[in-house]
Amino acid sequence: MSRRGLLKFLDRMSSKSAARYLTYSVAVAFFFALILIPPILGILLKLNQVGRVFEDSSLQSRALAAVSASFEIALFVSLVDVVAGLPLAWFIARGKSRWLNALDTFVDIPFILPTVALGYSLLLFWSKQGGVSSLFGASLVSPGWLLVILLHFVFSFPIIVRVMVGALLDYHIVYEEASRTLGAHALTADRTVTLSILKPSLVSSFILAFARSISETGATLMVAGVFENGPVFISHARDENLGEGPLVFVSSILIAVSFMIFAVITVLGPRLKLPTKKVWPSFERRLSSSNIAISRDTITLVIFFLIVLLPSLFVALPAVNAISSGTLSQALSGTGIWKGYWQSLILSYFVGALATLLNTLIGLPMAVLIARKRAGTRSSTILDVLVNIPLIVPSIALGVSMKFFWSNFAFIPEIVLLIFAHISITYPYFVRAMASAIERISMDLEEASRILGARPFTLFRTIILPLTKYSLFAGALLVFTRSVDETGATKAVVSTLKTAPVLLVSWVNPGGTPTATAFEIGLGIGFLVILSFAVLLVMRLVVRGKERRY
Amino acid sequence: MPEVKVENVTKKFGEGKIVAVENVSLQIKDKEYFSLLGPSGCGKTTLLRLIAGLVQPDEGNIYIDGKLVNDVPPEDRGVGFVFQTYALFPHMDVWGNVTYGPRVKAWDTQQSNKIGREMLEMVRLYERSKAFPQELSGGMMQRVAVARALSAGAKLLLLDEPLGALDAKIRLELRYDIRKLVKDLELTAIHVTHDQSEAMAISDRIAVMRKGKILQVGTPQELYMNPREIFVANFVGESNFFEGYVESVNEMGSVLELRGKLHLRVLDKNKGLGEKVVLAIRPEAFELKKGHKKVENAIFGHIERLRFEGTNIRYEVRLENEDLVVVTRPTLAGEWLDVDEKVTVSFPPDKSFVFTYPSKGLREELMAE
């Protein structure tokens, strides 16, 4: 069938309610069968194993300490993110300098870098010879909880800044102006009006940062040393062959508590009263003065450059040295450890591409379903909530649970499990990006298109898709980078296959001696980073310009 | 008491490429109801925001009450501002909005409550204290916005198209409400609008703006009876324009020659002999008679189109020199004329304005931007 014939056929089909029903049903069925049910059932089926942990009190206290460390760090880091990120977001959104565009791009760097690259970069910067530690003659920050906190701050910080810059740009500044003309000083206006109105964005960015911190595994492993949080404990427990008990124990607590925290923030967040009632005019006038504002901006920028940006980019140093030392030619010839490296890299990108493709195909109908409430208001809202679950569940716990479930079907090869896990973890990123983009398109446009004679498929092809192109690519890009970056679930699901980040963690071999030289690790990470940027660049070229609002 | 003086103020945007306000000077008297009138993009809102302190001038000085306020932030200028979109805080109810000013100034609670109540009773919305902005009608939101603007004790009220978002009927009603309130409370008000009938109806004085400059300041009557610029003649009220030359001048006035060898007498005697000029005549200044009549300043023509507008009938008359003019007559005065009817159009010499022909041409002069 020709392309035209196919389009015509799809167009005719889309008018039939049966075809539409089928499309949506397949999308929903896929979501439940592959993404939602396996991780939930998997852990439930193994709950009886938990008992073993209680027999060994030292194991039990180790596990509990790890779990509570996870939540403490996530909570602490997300709070610090807000405190440090809000002024930077303000600075970017409100400033007038032409350098702000560059700053805005810099903010994204820790977000785009694979987290294992970040982890290794921070490790080099803070604690290895050649980093800032050389200045002090000793390791400034040794692997351990402090380095884990620094790491989590670095990769979750851009989330807050990104979300809040977007929210501030969308915000109608007239409310702030109204507040000023009524006698409020700048700080009072920000506090009583702007922040109150932007509270939903603040809450959702907090949740995202929190979830990301709870979930991260690969980089945390690199910098944790003997310190354990939840994901590190699970990873160690697998390496030490402690059996299923501890895995189930920690995973189920991580999942359950994450849920609870998510629910509490979702319910209480909107009711949270920011400190708006009381006003101290003379004190706030002083805090609003331009001197204070300038020192605040300076501190913010210094923190960003010294704590976030510089340590993130430090890995470039060994990577560059590796090129001059001859490691590059070894790497390109693919001998020694490089053979495995290239295989892992191919595996990572293959799995990433496949997960992106499948999630795009199956996520699109789901996004329409949610955005346009095609399944009725209540069911659509429920779906909207359910879709977010993989976001808040720590990915290694999700992987552990999926592994339990799918091991009942022994005939499924490991590579398929790996793809399932990656689809599951990345699914929400695409659906959320698309659903909110579709929601922003006015219904009037759809109605106008229908009245002019477009059938549903044509409507989608000629109106919805062109208008959401940017979000579609942004969503796909998120899925892809998240998949290539993923360590926790990968470690949990497969035992023989090694994706690039898993391999790199094993090179660094935290807790033991590295299995590769510093140059090799640096170069290995360098390739990963360069490829990530290349993918990003290609995507940017494909989708020129930003999505406009209609 | 609040007197506002704007002295040689210039404001540019977009790295100096767009001049929003260009070397504007203006003096607004205490207790005056003053309007800034002009087409969209003329800089009137920017001028208002400069006075409020929401933007800072690139050049020039602004004085409120005799004090230079260039470096005074908006919260310390003692102004009330009503925004075009009202900008009622969506997360606060009516009461929260109206008592916001006293609250951020940390006035004592008793006093804040008293003011809140007074203000809401003044705009007849006290019983809606608990309602949120999105539950109110446009007219109610507008009244809350006014009450809120005055709650912090402002004596200078700045209004940015305060009636622009309302239905025609409510707009007519509220414009008099606002003026009455300003006069009762003895405030000074600066009102930005693009609606000339609104400006004429409520203002003590009006400044007409175009492309960042003030063209003319005067009472509504002065602007209507004696426009000093072609643009003002067209924007305040409406005018027909003819191009022509000064044929003769004497102490009684001058005679102009228009296209098609029309000779018309006007009172203006300040233009030079042979000078190219523009003659402006308001549609309502024309006399319209059936058939060809020999009267002063008579021009023959026929009715090409007519439109019934309620109070007036609007005739488009094709003159013998092929010019098209608009003539309005009160619907209830005299007989109606039909299309193709032969008519005589005439005007008294004292009801016309003569301007020097603009260097960039008439069309350019009439354009808003």
Look at residue A335 and give its three-state secondary structure: coil
What is the reported pLDDT for A550? Answer: 40
Most confident by average pLDDT, A34-38, A304-308, B215-219, B271-275: B215-219
List beta partners, residue B4. B28, B64
Q: Which of A314, A337, A369 is the last residue of a domain?
A: A314
Q: Are residues A177 and A242 in the same domain?
A: yes
Q: Which of A314, A335, A351 is the last residue of a domain?
A: A314
Q: Are residues B227 and B246 in the same domain?
A: no
**Nearest Cα to A249, choosing from A260, A233, A227, A226?**
A233
List beta partners, residue B189. B33, B157
Which among A175, A183, A185 has CB closest to B87?
A175
pLDDT band at A349 (very low <50, low <70, confident <90, very high): very high
Cα–Cα distance measured from residue B13 to residue B52, given in angstroms and rounded to the nearest whole number: 17
**Nearest Cα to A485, choosing from A438, A442, A429?**
A429
Q: Are residues A294 and A417 in the same domain?
A: no
Q: Are residues A45 and A117 in the same domain?
A: no
Q: Are residues A344 and A209 in the same domain?
A: no
Tell me if A418 is assigned to some domain: yes
**Nearest Cα to B83, choosing from B192, B24, B162, B16?**
B162
Q: Which of B202, B234, B266 is the last residue of a domain?
A: B234
Q: What is the mean pLDDT of residues A379-405?
A: 87
Q: Which two tokens stand for residue B253?
A: 């006035």
What are the tens digits of pLDDT across the range A129-175? Answer: 666 666 666 667 778 899 999 999 999 998 899 889 888 988 889 99
Q: Which two tokens stand for residue B308?
A: 């019934």
pLDDT band at B244 (very low <50, low <70, confident <90, very high): very high
DSSP structural state of residue A183: T
Q: Are residues B36 and B138 in the same domain?
A: yes
Q: What is the mean pLDDT of residues A120-136?
A: 76
pLDDT band at A14 (very low <50, low <70, confident <90, very high): confident
- Stated pTM of the model: 0.81
Q: Are residues A196 and A239 in the same domain?
A: yes
Lowest mean pLDDT among A357-361, A449-453, B73-77: A449-453
Q: Are residues B186 and B251 in the same domain?
A: no
Judge contact between B325 and B345, C-beta under 8 A: yes
Q: Tokens 């791009």 appear where?
A: A105
- CB of A175 within 8 Å of a chain B CB? The answer is yes
Tell me if A6 is assigned to some domain: no
What is the reported pLDDT for A548? Answer: 44
Q: Are residues B87 and B140 in the same domain?
A: yes
What are the tens digits of pLDDT across the range B26-59? Answer: 999 999 999 999 999 899 999 999 999 999 999 9
- CB of B75 within 8 Å of a chain A CB? The answer is yes
Tell me if A487 is assigned to some domain: yes
What is the reported pLDDT for A131? Answer: 66
Judge contact between B69 and B63, C-beta under 8 A: yes
Element (H, E) at A312: helix A310-313
pLDDT band at B81 (very low <50, low <70, confident <90, very high): very high
A181/B79 CB distance under 8 A:
yes
Q: Which of B200, B234, B268 is the last residue of a domain?
A: B234
Q: Which two tokens stand for residue A191?
A: 């506090």
Residues of chain A with C-beta less than 8 angstroms from the C-beta of B159: none
Q: Which two tokens stand for residue B93?
A: 């109810």
Q: Are residues A308 and A381 in the same domain?
A: no
pLDDT band at B178 (very low <50, low <70, confident <90, very high): very high
**Interface size, chain A vs chain B, as Cβ–Cβ contacts under 8 Å:** 77
What are the tens digits of pLDDT across the range B321-336? Answer: 999 999 999 988 878 8
Q: In what order do the strands lie in the sheet with B262-266?
A: B262-266, B253-258, B240-250, B276-281, B353-356
Beta-carbon contacts of residue A163 (< 8 Å; ≥ 6 apart): A201, A204, A205, A208
Q: Are residues A37 and A88 in the same domain?
A: no
Cα–Cα distance measured from residue B22 to residue A309, given in angstroms and rounded to the nearest whole number: 44
What is the reported pLDDT for A314? Answer: 87
Which among B76, B91, B106 has CB closest to A280?
B106
Q: Are residues A213 and A323 in the same domain?
A: no
Q: What is the mean pLDDT of residues B104-127?
A: 92
Q: Are residues A379 and A253 in the same domain?
A: no
Q: What is the mean pLDDT of residues A171-182?
A: 92
Burial of B364 (0-12, 13-18, 19+ CB in 10 A): exposed
Residues of chain B with C-beta less than 8 angstroms from the C-beta of A172: 85, 87
Beta-carbon contacts of residue A133 (< 8 Å; ≥ 6 apart): A126, A127, A139, A140, A141
Q: Are residues B225 and B312 in the same domain?
A: no
Sort strands B312-319 and B299-308 into parallel, antiparallel or unpaired. Answer: antiparallel
- CB of A95 within 8 Å of a chain B CB? The answer is no
Cα–Cα distance measured from residue B140 to residue B165, given in angstroms and rounded to the nearest whole number: 12
Q: Which of B219, B234, B249 is the last residue of a domain?
A: B234
What is the reported pLDDT for B152? Answer: 86
What are the tens digits of pLDDT across the range A59-73? Answer: 889 999 999 999 999
Pairwise pLDDT comparison (B160 vs A290), residue with the higher score = B160
B149/A181 CB distance under 8 A:
yes
- Estimate to the nearest angstrom the gap between the alpha carbon of B250 and the chain centroid: 36
What is the Cα Rg of chain B in Å?
25
- CB of B147 within 8 Å of a chain A CB? The answer is no
Instruction: Provide the phi-psi class of A485: left if phi over 0, else alpha when psi is between -120 and 50, else beta.
Output: alpha
Q: Are residues B11 and B130 in the same domain?
A: yes
Domain span at A519:
22-50+318-550
Q: What is the mean pLDDT of residues A19-46?
A: 90
What is the reported pLDDT for B143? Answer: 94
What are the E-state strand segments in A264-413? none
**Nearest Cα to A485, choosing from A355, A328, A334?**
A355
Q: Are residues B176 and B269 in the same domain?
A: no
Pairwise pLDDT comparison (B324 vs A13), residue with the higher score = B324
Taking the alpha carbons at both ends of chain B, their separation in whole angstroms is: 36
- CB of A290 within 8 Å of a chain B CB? The answer is no
What is the reported pLDDT for A132? Answer: 66
Q: Are residues A252 and A278 in the same domain?
A: yes
B73/A186 CB distance under 8 A:
yes
Q: Report the amino acid identity of residue A299.
A: I
Q: Report the amino acid identity of residue B76.
A: D
- CB of B101 within 8 Å of a chain A CB? The answer is yes
To the nearest 10°, the Cα dihedral for A477, A478, A480, A482?
160
Q: What is the mean pLDDT of residues A67-85?
A: 94
**Nearest Cα to B29, choosing from B156, B196, B194?**
B156
Mean pLDDT rounded to a whole number for chain A: 86
Q: Which two tokens stand for residue A425?
A: 């973890």
Q: Are residues B248 and B121 in the same domain?
A: no
Q: In Å, how far is A175's CA from the nearest CA of chain B?
A: 5
Tell me if A5 is assigned to some domain: no
Tell me if A16 is assigned to some domain: no
Please, what sign has the CA dihedral across residues B180, B185, B188, B192? negative
- Number of domains chain A is built from: 2
What is the reported pLDDT for A545? Answer: 52
Q: Is the pLDDT of residue B192 over 50?
A: yes
Q: In Å, how far is A212's CA from the nearest CA of chain B?
A: 30
Q: Are residues A323 and A218 in the same domain?
A: no
Q: Which of A314, A349, A364 is the last residue of a domain?
A: A314
Q: Are residues B256 and B127 in the same domain?
A: no
Q: What is the CATH number of the domain that holds B358?
A: 2.40.50.140
Cα–Cα distance measured from residue B206 to residue B227, given in angstroms and rounded to the nearest whole number: 12
Q: HSE (CB half, 13 Å, CA atoms) of B139?
A: 14
Pairwise pLDDT comparison (A460 vs A175), residue with the higher score = A175
Q: Tokens 């009817």 appear where?
A: B341
Q: Are residues B230 and B292 in the same domain?
A: no
Domain span at B253:
239-366
Tell me if A7 is assigned to some domain: no
Q: Is the pLDDT of residue A290 over 90?
A: no
Q: Are residues A172 and A214 in the same domain?
A: yes
Q: HSE (CB half, 13 Å, CA atoms) of B203?
A: 28
Cα–Cα distance measured from residue A232 to residue A67, given in angstroms and rounded to the nearest whole number: 10
B106/A193 CB distance under 8 A:
no
A-interface mutation test, from B69, B98, B104, B157, most A Cβ less than 10 A away: B104
Q: What is the CATH number of the domain that holds B102?
A: 3.40.50.300
What is the reported pLDDT for A105? Answer: 79
Look at residue B76 and give its three-state secondary structure: helix
Pairwise pLDDT comparison (B62 vs A243), residue with the higher score = B62
Q: Is the pLDDT of residue A239 over 90?
A: no
Tell me if A9 is assigned to some domain: no
Q: What is the CATH number of the domain that holds A282?
A: 1.10.3720.10
Burial of A11 (0-12, 13-18, 19+ CB in 10 A): middle
Tell me if A10 is assigned to some domain: no
Q: Are residues B222 and B355 in the same domain?
A: no
Look at residue B229 and give its three-state secondary structure: coil
Q: Are residues B197 and B246 in the same domain?
A: no
Q: In Å, how far is A385's CA from the nearest CA of chain B?
A: 25
Q: What is the mean pLDDT of residues B294-303?
A: 93
pLDDT band at B264 (very low <50, low <70, confident <90, very high): very high
A181/B89 CB distance under 8 A:
no
- Number of domains chain B is built from: 2
Which among B77, B83, B91 has CB closest to A178?
B83
A-interface mutation test, from B84, B103, B107, B161, most A Cβ less than 10 A away: B103
- CB of A272 within 8 Å of a chain B CB? The answer is no
Q: In Å, how far is B321's CA from the nearest CA of chain A?
A: 47
Cα–Cα distance measured from residue A324 to residue A371, given in angstroms and rounded to the nearest whole number: 53
